[in-house]
Amino acid sequence: MTTLSRLLNENENATIADIAKHMSSVEEFHERVRKCDTSANSKEWLTETMQEITGDTPEGGAIVKRLVNPLNSKMYLDFFPLFKLVSRMCYLGAAIRKIKLQIRKVAASEKSVAEKVARLAQIQALINSMSFKNDLVAERERLEKVELEYAVRRLQMINDKLAVCLQQQRNFA
């Protein structure tokens, strides 16, 4: 009953006296059982409780051994559904904890993927800017070549005109 009280109160330190507020009517007890978050208890406590109920052997844990003992059958017969309920609630609590852990792992993984996608976009932008630099270098080299060719042609044209002018000056003098 103490274990059931701890599950229903979602508090590992609850006592058997704390279950009374949930036992005033069958409907209230059913409602509390349905609304109870068994995963609020620690993993260790849930594991210990399940161990106490089911144990590692086919005979079961300490609670099951007391339940199936013929000397105790009359005393525990009325409580058997509650023991079954405690067992299922512990199992569900452990299962819910595992699911929540998996959800957190998926969320962390999605966040990691989003960060990696953002980093990939940054790297791609950097690569694009670097290739733009290469384009600028190529354009500068092309312009230098074109300008150099233009300057050489212009110099040649000026030298040709100068030669013509000097020739005319010699012819005139």
- Using one digit for the tens of pLDDT, what is the confidence trace for 102-144? 999 999 899 989 999 999 999 888 888 777 777 888 888 888 8
Please report how many Cα atoms fall inside a 13 Å half-sphere around the Cα of residue 98, on the Cβ side.
8
- Binned at pLDDT 50, 70 and 90, residue 64 comes out as confident
Q: Quick one: pLDDT at residue 134?
A: 78
Q: Quick one: pLDDT at residue 103?
A: 93
Contact 7, 83 (CB under 8 A): no
Tokens of 165: 């002018």
Contacts of 62 (CB under 8 A, 6+ apart): 52, 55
The mean pLDDT of the chain is 81
Q: Is pLDDT above 90 for 52?
A: no
Share of the chain above pLDDT 90, in %: 16
Q: Quick one: pLDDT at residue 1?
A: 62
Contact 98, 46 (CB under 8 A): no
What is the pTM assigned to this prediction? 0.50
Q: Is pLDDT above 80 for 5?
A: no
Average pLDDT over residues 40-58: 77
Q: Is pLDDT above 90 for 20?
A: no
Q: Name which residue leads in pLDDT, 101 or 36.
A: 101
* Digit-coded pLDDT (tens) for 80-102: 777 777 777 778 888 888 899 99
